[in-house]
Structures are given as structure tokens and as C-alpha cells.
A and B are shown apart, each in its own frame.
Chain A
Amino acid sequence: MKYQYNFKEIFNNARLFSTEYVFTKLVLRAIFFSFVVSILILIFSTPKFSISATLLENKDQQESSDLEGVFRSISQKDNEMFQKFRANVFSTTTSKELWKLGWGSRLFDAGNLYEDDSKIPKSHGSFNRFSAFLLGYELNPYYSHLDLKEFILRKVQIRQAPRASDFTVSMLTDGNREFAKELIYSIIITADSAAKQKALAVSRARIKSAMDELQNPKNSLVNNGLSSILNSEYFKVASLSNDLPYYVYFVDMPSASEYPISPNAAAVFVADLIIFFILGVFFSYYSKNKEELW
């Protein structure tokens, strides 16, 4: 097929198309209808606010004073601290710690009806109950720290933009924003502390074994090596034994967005306008060219 680029004809055709199919009552009605639908969507949507904290990896902790530490820090991956922190946020250890801090009852027993955190009844869907009955296994009747872990996995997002050095820990809430801010803060601090405790335990174990080895006399080279390990591990213990975050810095404390992130009202209006406008044009076109289109 060869095209003839007759611009005058194209322009005239476009004008005809507009008057015949675009500027019609049907399209006008469709546009009006789009506003109604948008308003209905927004009325029935629950506004969700974003609660987010911005963090920076604590890169200082990747280095140590001696040459070995410098080489180690060079060979480490750029975002190792971020990866360790991320893994800890979604770990069972963190959810267990959060459960101990009372987050289980705050999340799953909002009315504070049960005194014992481990006795908050958990409801299971009929399908889960049916499959448990068929397969013959027991369903946990109470909430546990594993449900809290599941909650964190589903709700909390940790995102680092490509090539960025900072990252955000965020969640959406349609409820109490102060509560969500507190939760995000607790998750960050607890995950960091859990990671810190693990690092502390490793350092203390290394100190103990290095001390034991130093009790037995060896040649000066080995003794120097052991002393160097001891120094570096004591340095690590000193940097870990405080209340400050170890893996991450807070750049921005958890805060709530002023406006809801979802639904985006403007986007909903524009999307509906486009859909209904084009649907209107389509119907106009189809009704006038039915025979030609098939």
C-alpha cells in the first residue's frame, strides 16, 4: 500500500472526524459520566497514607582501623550493610523481638481484650479450615510472632532507587498514622539491634577464642596476629555497645505523607476521562461506520 501525503486532505479529514465523532452529544455524556464514575471510585476508596523513613547505610562500620580492615572494606559489596539490614527487617528474630515489645497485641488485639499476648485468638478462612480438615493438620488457634513476620513481609517495603545511596523503609496505612510511624521506627531499631546482637555475639566469641589461644605461648608472628584480631574485635564491641543504630543512619525519621498516596485523585479523574472520552468516540464511530468496519 502506498500512501499519498496530501496534507490538505489529511487536515480536512481530521476536521471531519472531529465534528462527526468527537464533538458529539454522546462524547459529552461520556465525559460527564467519567466524572460521576471517578467520584464514585474515590468515595468508595480508602485513602492510604505513606509512612516512610529515609535511611543511609552506616558505611563507617564497614571499615576498621587496620590495613586488613581497609582491604576487607574494599572487597565488600557496596551495599552490604543495606542487604544485612534488609534481611534483618524480615527475619524471625526481629518479629520475635517486636512481639516481646508488645506489637503483637497492638496489631492483632486492637481492643486490648486479651491479657496474655500468646492467647489472642486467630481466625482462619473457611478454605484454610477445610484444607486442614482434609489434609489432617492442626491450625494454630492463636496469633504468634510468625503472623507478625508475615505482616511485616506484606506491608513493609524497603526500597533503594537504582544507583542511589539512601533508601526508604515505608508502609501504607489507612488507619492511625501515629501508630504506623511508631511501628516503622520500632521495626528499624529492632532490626538494627537484632543485627547488632548477632555481630556482638560473633565478636565476643572471637575475643574468647583469641584470648584462649594467647594463653598458650606461640611464636611472635602468631601472637601478633592474635593480638591484632583481639584489637579489631574489641574495637567492634566498643562500636556496637551503645544505643545508636549500627547498620543504618536515620536521614529522616518516620513521617506520614500529608496527602493520601492512593488513590491519586487527579490520576483517577484523568484516567476515567480518557477511558470514557475514547469509549464515546468509539461508539460514535462504530454506530456510523458499522457496515464498513466488518
Chain B
Amino acid sequence: MVNEYIVFFDYEYTFLYYIFELANYSALAFIALIFRHYKFINNSSFWTWLVLMFTPILFNYFIFDAHLFGDQSLYTLDAVDQKLDYDLPNNPNLEKDLWWTSTSILTSKILSIFPLPMLMTLTSLAFANKLMLFLLFVWTSRFLNQDRLILFFLIPSLVLYSSLSLRDNIIIVFGVAFLINLVNRKYIFALVFLIPLFVLKIQNFSFFLLAFFGNFIFQTHKSFIGLILYLLSLSLFSIVMQEEILDIINLYRVAFAAEDSIGGYADFTFYNDTSLLELTSLSGFIYESLIRIPNFLLMPLPWNWSSPLYPIQFLESLLLIIIFIRVIFKYSLYRNLYFYSLIISFVAGLMVYSVLAMNEGTFVRYRFSFFFPYLIALYYIGESALAEKEKEAHA
């Protein structure tokens, strides 16, 4: 790779930016062509992916200011450091022993696995994200109808997050891969995708872990008794650990409220009574979350719209909820035991996220990276059950 021998220089919005990123696009398009040639993807998927793979060039600079998503430079610089094999100046031991505990280093390490020909601008890692999503598509298309599956990959938020050099796309891809492997009872593979989420997004990790325990330990997908035991254990655990759970939720609740306030953390704790935000009992938490779930699911609501992006995000969230409910009822998932451990962990996640949600921009991102894997997993459960039924009918 060329960039192994050069020091990173940000080309920003120049003619050369397009040249370098077109090279990355070409490499991805070539991979899509190979997959088409081997018939891993069909024609409509091939042409759609050729368009989707181009979007990273459009989002940074062309549609948004690249510095709007400031984390992009952090991941890019870390990825460049790794390509150049630089040590971390302040933490010489971090690289060797504990690099995986750093969100930015782990993100850039994962994105660096993908062989991009150019790592020259802030947009370059976005192509690694796109390639990762493409591979997820190819993998999931083994189990699902491609023509319908591709529609999920056209959801605007997914197109946006996979077109930026951010970690959200990794969280989504790992989330989908974890849930599908879990449903397929491939627990080792499921764990492989779950463990990195502990560093990348601990909230999602916790809720996915609930689903993992349900399927792996209580075998909720097989027996109704297992499901009852699982629910009882969860309830018992929540009651016994009530204080600890509420402490963690309260800590994050105050932190997100402070982050959203004008003066930041210091001013918020100085000028505001944080105890007003604190939840004191499990019943209080359940009551508060039930009230706030609709707001969390539909945010940004029309009276909070402050940018042209907000109406799109609102309509998208509305559409996703409709699809989610449609998938549940179309495939009668409530009759399928696989559905329950997933939906329990999903509802637990929704409840926690809904009481934490303070800032629209942040939580719309969080919601999507949490919601999308469940949507695909439920669709997968439905399609698998349908295929099974058809097989039985034919037999």
C-alpha cells in the first residue's frame, strides 16, 4: 500500500480527494464484480451495490461538512498510526497489551483489516465500512431472499452510517452477525461477534448478552419451561440487583443530561439538582420507561426538528416501526419460541435507552444501531420458519 510510506496529510475537499477515493470505490466495485461473477449476488443487488458503494464519496464534504462527525478524524489517525506501525506516544504499553480496550483503536484495527488501496483522506475508512456491510449482505443472502433483503440495506440511516468513517456500522454489522448466529445456534461464532461490542458499545453488548443467556443457558428457543425460567430469573435478578442496576442507569442518565446541557458536565452538576433525574425504584424505572418509549422510538418529533435531516429521520423511524410490527404479524412470530428471548432483550434495551435519551442527534444514532440488528434477526426468524413450513408441506 502506498500510504505505508507516507505521513498522513488530509487532502480535504480537493481534486485529489476524488482521485484517491475513486480508487477505493473502484476496488470495492471490483469486489462486487467478482461476487457477481461467482453468482453470490444477483443483477439487481450488483447494480444497487455499485450505487451504494459510491455514497462515501458524496457524504463527506459534498453533503455534510466532514468535521460534523468529528470522530472520523480520530479513527482515521489511529488507522494511519497502525499502518505506519507507530507507537502510541503517551501510552507505550497500551498498544501492546491493552489496545483492545480503546474504542478508537479497536475500531480502526477492525476497519484496517479490510484491504483498502488508499488511506489518504477522512473518507477512506468509510469504504472499509461499506465493504464490511457488503460482506454482511452477501452472508445474510445465504439465508434470505436477496431482492427483499437489499431493501433493508437502502434504509437512509444505514446508508449514512456506512458511508462515514465511524464505528456505528461495525456495531450494526456485528449486531446482525451475532443475532443470526445466535438464532442458528452457532454460539461460538455468536460470541466472536459479541465480545468486541463490549468495547465498541457496551449498552448493546449488555442487551445482546441477555438474549445469549436466554438461548444458550435457558434454551428458550426450545422449551416453554426454559422461557418461564428465564423470565423468572431475569425478574429475580432485577429485584436483587435493583440498587446496582439503578445506580448505573442513573449515572448514565445524569451524564447524558449533562452532555446535552449548555455548560457541559461541570456546569450541569453545579447549577442543577441531579437527584431530580435519578430513578429510585424499579417500579419508577418501569413507569418512566413506558412513558418515554414512544418518544424514543419516534424521535426526533416534529416540535424538536431543527435541521432538514430531522423530518427524514422521523419518517424513517415511523417506517421502521411499521416494518417491525409487520414482520412480527406477517410471520406470526409470537408463535415462535425463538422470538421471545430476542424480544425480551429488545424491550429491556428499549426501556433503558428510553430513560437515557436526552439528545436527539445522539440517540437517533444509538437507536438505529440497536434497532436494525433486531429487525433483520426477526425477519430472518420469520423467513426461516416459513421456509421450514414449505419444506414440510412439500414433504
Which of A's residues lie within 8 Å of B, judged by CB?
A: 1-3, 10, 13, 17, 41, 45, 50, 161-166, 261-264, 266-268, 270-272, 274-275, 277-279, 281-282, 285, 292-294
| CB pair B33 A282 closer than 8 Å | yes
B75 to chain A, nearest CB (A): 10
| CB pair A267 B77 closer than 8 Å | no
**B209 contacts partner chain A, Cβ-Cβ < 8 Å:** no
| Set B23, B37, B46: member contacting A274, Cβ < 8 A | B23
**Given A163-B90, A271-B22, A274-B26: 11 more A-B contacts, CB < 8 Å:** A1-B141, A17-B37, A50-B9, A161-B81, A165-B89, A267-B6, A270-B117, A271-B23, A274-B117, A277-B26, A278-B26
| CB pair B90 A267 closer than 8 Å | no
B150 to chain A, nearest CB (A): 13
Residues of A within 8 A of B34 (CB): 17
Docked Cα-Cα span, A62 to B20, in Å, equals 44
| Set B29, B81, B120: member contacting A278, Cβ < 8 A | B29
**B136 contacts partner chain A, Cβ-Cβ < 8 Å:** no
Residues of A within 8 A of B38 (CB): 10, 13
| Set A2, A50, A261, A274: member contacting B27, Cβ < 8 A | A274
| CB pair B120 A267 closer than 8 Å | yes
| CB pair A285 B16 closer than 8 Å | no
Residues of A within 8 A of B250 (CB): none
Which of B's residues lie within 8 Å of A, judged by CB?
A: 2-3, 5-7, 9, 11, 14-16, 19-20, 22-23, 26-27, 29-30, 33-34, 36-38, 40, 43, 46, 74, 77-78, 81, 88-91, 104, 117-118, 120, 141-142, 146
Docked Cα-Cα span, A105 to B77, in Å, equals 37
Residues of A within 8 A of B104 (CB): 162
| CB pair B33 A165 closer than 8 Å | no
Most buried by A among B2, B3, B46: B2
Q: How many pairs of A and B residues are in contact by the CB < 8 Å rule? A: 95
Tell me what chain B mostly uses at the interface: helix, strand, loop, or mixed.
helix
Docked Cα-Cα span, A69 to B78, in Å, equals 35
Residues of B within 8 A of A10 (CB): 38
| Set B15, B20, B22, B89: member contacting A267, Cβ < 8 A | B20
| Set A41, A166, A266, A285: member contacting B5, Cβ < 8 A | A266
Docked Cα-Cα span, A267 to B9, in Å, equals 12
Question: A262-B16, A271-B23, A282-B29 in contact; A13/B90 too (CB < 8 A)?
Answer: no
| CB pair A162 B23 closer than 8 Å | no
Q: Residue on A with the closest CB to B11?
A: A262
| CB pair B26 A163 closer than 8 Å | no
Question: A1-B142, A3-B142, A164-B89 in contact; A263/B16 too (CB < 8 A)?
Answer: yes
| CB pair A281 B19 closer than 8 Å | no
Docked Cα-Cα span, A66 to B91, in Å, equals 30
4 closest Cβ contacts across the A-B interface? A271-B23, A278-B26, A163-B90, A164-B89
Q: Residue on A with the closest CB to B6?
A: A264
Residues of A within 8 A of B117 (CB): 270-271, 274
| Set A163, A262, A271, A294: member contacting B88, Cβ < 8 A | A163
Residues of A within 8 A of B6 (CB): 264, 266-267
9 A-B pairs (CB sep. < 8 Å):
A1-B141, A161-B81, A262-B9, A278-B26, A278-B27, A282-B30, A282-B33, A285-B37, A293-B36
Docked Cα-Cα span, A279 to B50, in Å, equals 13
Q: Residue on A with the closest CB to B28?
A: A278
Docked Cα-Cα span, A271 to B146, in Å, equals 32
Question: A1-B141, A279-B26, A293-B43 in contact; A267/B118 too (CB < 8 A)?
Answer: yes
Residues of B within 8 A of A270 (CB): 2, 23, 117-118
Residues of B within 8 A of A278 (CB): 26-27, 29-30
Residues of A within 8 A of B16 (CB): 41, 45, 262-263, 268
Question: A50-B9, A281-B30 in contact; A275/B22 too (CB < 8 A)?
Answer: yes
B293 to chain A, nearest CB (A): 37
Docked Cα-Cα span, A1 to B40, in Å, equals 8
Residues of B within 8 A of A277 (CB): 26
A170 to chain B, nearest CB (A): 10
Residues of A within 8 A of B30 (CB): 278, 281-282
B62 to chain A, nearest CB (A): 18
Docked Cα-Cα span, A217 to B97, in Å, equals 61
